[in-house]
Amino acid sequence: MNTTNTVPHVTYFNRHEHMSPETMKSIGELIHKSIDETESMMGVTNSLYGLYDGYLYASLLPDGKKELSPETYAKLVEVVEAVRLYPPTESDTTEH
C-alpha cells in the first residue's frame, strides 16, 4: 500500500500541529450539514471526517459542489482553502 504524499487522491497534513479550534468547529458544523443535506455518511461526509485525521481528499470540493447547498458549499470552500495552507506531509500522520 502506498502511503506517501504521491497518492493523487489525498494530501496528508498534520492536523495536530496546524488546525485551529475554529477550523475544527467549522468541520464539525459542515459534517452535520452534510448529513442533513445528503442523508449519507459516505462521500462528502466521510471526506470531512478525514480532515480530522489529516487527510484532504481531492474529491471533497467537486463532490461538495454536486451534493451540498450553495451556502454549505461556500463554507466548505473556506475550510478547504485554510487546510490547503498547511504544509503537506510525506505520509499519514494519524495517531492511532
- 17-50 confidence digits (pLDDT tens): 999 999 999 999 999 999 999 978 889 999 999 9
What value does the CA radius of gyration of the chain take, rounded to a whole number of Å? 13
Q: What is the mean pLDDT of residues 65-78?
A: 97
Mind giving me the DSSP string for the chain?
---BTT-TTEEEB-HHHH--HHHHHHHHHHHHHHHHHH--SSTHHHHHHHHHTTEEETTHHHHHHHHS-HHHHHHHHHHHHHHTTSPB-SB-----
Residue ranges of domains in the chain? 11-83
| pLDDT given at position 8 | 59
